[in-house]
Amino acid sequence: MSRRPMVRPGGRSARVQEAVHTAVRELVAEVGRDALTVPQVATRAGVTPSTVYRRWGDLKELLSDVAVERLRPEAPPEDLGNLSADLTAWAEEFLDEMSSPPGRAYIRDALLGDPDGGNGGQCSAYAAEQIDVVLARAADRGETAPDVETVIDRVVAPMMYRILFRPDGLDPAYAHRLVTGLLTAGA
Amino acid sequence: MSRRPMVRPGGRSARVQEAVHTAVRELVAEVGRDALTVPQVATRAGVTPSTVYRRWGDLKELLSDVAVERLRPEAPPEDLGNLSADLTAWAEEFLDEMSSPPGRAYIRDALLGDPDGGNGGQCSAYAAEQIDVVLARAADRGETAPDVETVIDRVVAPMMYRILFRPDGLDPAYAHRLVTGLLTAGA
């Protein structure tokens, strides 16, 4: 990430990023991730290979950036009227998305082409922001709520650990149990 | 892992594995992981490149297997006389090893070159086996103890999540807090 210049929305830098990210997504769908090369991506995006190398370093870092973009949440978590319902719904959806084959591929890409740890941190920040929204709503309702770091330890981390290290048998009931275990412990 | 034949200790297959793993470890130390190639490894190990490709598929899978070997615990956890002390000592050591630069590199290698998920599963199995030893000792002493899956969710997963996604500021006190939080909740 340290190579990447600041991106002004609408500027040339933002247009290049958009074109290159789109090229990667299209080519991954067409030829598969393992056959992808930087010159191919550059041709499709209408830029020179050196533009890609200068900005992203190598293909792994480019795939990592594209993955982080794909993992960005599209909307705030649903408001179902109470903390337990909100957190359960969020956790079930998170587990469903992240444990899907594309979700797992994006997580791996994000972690692996990430020499300075910034992209892994960004993935975690996305989850923390969504949880913050859920917890702020609970506070507004006067509900007792744990802090965001506790939710990460008790709900996000176990789901992500099992997605990465032991993906068999994950289901919504697991997400539900984690949330119930946290909230009934009297946080 | 599916490509790998059964390894008989002392057989040719075991000797090849040992020679190739040793070659990888030496060359990673000498030229670095990014410059490593299969032909280099084969030459150093005294085998043909096709032997390596046939058995490991590609360099990523080979690095993944070497990483899993390096992550195998060398001894059972220390017996300090009670569950809280045993689990705290184990968690502190696990965090220290896995969050070190070589530990993090091995975890990433293990996860990355792992198309069928077997190597990630093996890493998790190593942790589960060590925890099993700690919990069995607690049961022998008549102590109340959580089950191994609960220890994975409450202690191993948060440490591993933070190592991978937000490595800043991890210290033994964090491992200690996770264990205390689990055991004082009255598991």
As annotated, the residues of chain B forming the CATH 1.10.357.10 domain(s) are 73-184
- Tell whether A76 is within 8 A of chain B (Cβ): no
Return the pLDDT at A133. Answer: 97
Q: What is the mean pLDDT of residues B88-110?
A: 93
Is B164 in contact with A164 (Cβ distance < 8 A)? Answer: yes
Work out the mean pLDDT of chain B and round it to a whole number. Answer: 90
Return the pLDDT at B8. Answer: 60
Q: What is the mean pLDDT of residues A147-155?
A: 97
| Percent of residues, chain A, with pLDDT higher than 70 | 93
As annotated, the residues of chain A forming the CATH 1.10.10.60 domain(s) are 12-57
Q: Residue A2 above 60 pLDDT?
A: no
For the A75-184 domain, the top CATH level (class) is mainly alpha
Summarised one tens digit per residue, pLDDT across range B136-175 is 999 999 999 999 999 999 999 999 999 999 988 899 999 9
Domain at B73-184: CATH architecture: Orthogonal Bundle (1.10)
Q: What's at B113, amino acid-wise?
A: G
Q: What's at A73, amino acid-wise?
A: P
Packed helices A172-184 and A157-165: angle between N→C axes, nearest 10 degrees: 150
Return the pLDDT at B130. Answer: 97
Return the pLDDT at A167. Answer: 85
Is A121 in contact with B162 (Cβ distance < 8 A)? Answer: no
Q: Is the ipTM of this complex over 0.95?
A: no
Return the pLDDT at A91. Answer: 98
Return the pLDDT at A112. Answer: 82
Q: How far from B166 is each of A10, A116, A119, B162, CA to CA, in Å?
A: 31, 11, 10, 5
- Tell whether B164 is within 8 A of chain A (Cβ): yes
Which residues does chain A have within 8 Å of residue B165's beta carbon, measured at their own beta carbons? 111, 120-121, 123-124, 160
Q: Which residues touch A37 (CB under 8 Å, ≥6 apart)?
A: A59
Return the pLDDT at B1. Answer: 41
Return the pLDDT at B118. Answer: 84
Q: Give the DSSP letter string of A93-150.
A: HHHHHHHSHHHHHHHHHHHHT-TTSHHHHHHHHHHHHHHHHHHHHHHHTT-----HHH
Summarised one tens digit per residue, pLDDT across range B24-33 is 999 998 998 8
Q: Residue B36 above 50 pLDDT?
A: yes
Q: Binning pLDDT at 50, 70 and 90, where does residue A103 land? A: very high
Return the pLDDT at A187. Answer: 44
By CA distance, what is A155's nearest residue in B? Answer: B153
As annotated, the residues of chain A forming the CATH 1.10.357.10 domain(s) are 75-184
- Tell whether A161 is within 8 A of chain B (Cβ): yes
Q: Binning pLDDT at 50, 70 and 90, where does residue A168 land? A: confident
Structure tokens at A88: 């359960």
CATH code for the domain defined by A12-57: 1.10.10.60
Is B111 in contact with A164 (Cβ distance < 8 A)? Answer: yes
Q: What is the mean pLDDT of residues A173-180?
A: 97
Tell me how far apart the alpha carbons of residues A152 and A129 are, in angstroms, rounded to a whole number: 11
| Percent of residues, chain B, with pLDDT higher than 90 | 71
Summarised one tens digit per residue, pLDDT across range A74-88 is 899 999 999 999 999
Tell me how far apart the alpha carbons of residues B140 and B150 are, in angstroms, rounded to a whole number: 19
